[in-house]
């Protein structure tokens, strides 16, 4: 899985995410295309619960989240786009990829918003 990217489209904006090669990322890609509603969570991330949980096998977070991380929180089954990093890391947070372009486009949105997600191969 080299150079696989996804595109998030919302409110005429685009965010491109460079996906990492792990079981959760591959499982997420298999669910695409996908439309989700993102909501703000703890003023650090935008989240959406997925319809199907991702396979996490033995994948764990290697470090705390950073601004621009596209992640999956396995206990809740939600994806997250971080616009602020978390102070503490958790092994339940799996980083699926990193935003390559468009970090600033979703950060200031206060209300829930719909996002269309497509794979770019």
> Model confidence over 82-94: pLDDT tens digits?
998 776 767 788 9
According to DSSP, the residues that pair with 6 across neighbouring strands are 17, 119
Number of domains, the chain: 1
Closest CA to 17 of 26, 9, 25, 7: 7
| pTM listed for this prediction | 0.91
Residue 25 φ/ψ, nearest 5 degrees: -65, -45
Helix, strand, coil percent content, the chain, rounded in steps of 5: 10, 45, 45
Residue 13 sits in a domain whose CATH number is 2.40.100.20
- Which residue range(s) make up the domain with 10? 5-120
* Cα–Cα distance, 98 to 16 (Å, whole number): 9
pLDDT of residue 90: 73
The tens place of each residue's pLDDT in the chain, 121 residues long, gives 678 999 999 988 999 999 999 989 999 999 999 999 999 998 899 999 999 999 887 666 666 788 999 999 999 999 999 998 776 767 788 999 999 999 888 887 888 999 999 999 7
């Amino acid at each position: 899985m080299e150079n696989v990217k996804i595109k998030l489209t919302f409110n005429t904006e685009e965010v491109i995410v460079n996906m990492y090669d792990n079981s959760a990322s591959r499982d997420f890609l298999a669910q695409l295309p996908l439309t989700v509603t993102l909501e703000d969570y703890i003023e650090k991330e935008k989240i959406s619960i997925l319809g199907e949980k991702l396979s996490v096998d033995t994948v764990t977070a290697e470090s705390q989240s950073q601004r621009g991380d596209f992640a999956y929180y396995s206990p809740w089954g939600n994806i997250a786009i971080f616009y602020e990093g978390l102070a503490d890391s958790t092994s339940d947070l799996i980083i699926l990829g990193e935003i390559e372009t468009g970090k600033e486009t979703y950060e200031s949105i206060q209300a829930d918003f719909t996002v269309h997600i497509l794979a770019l191969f």
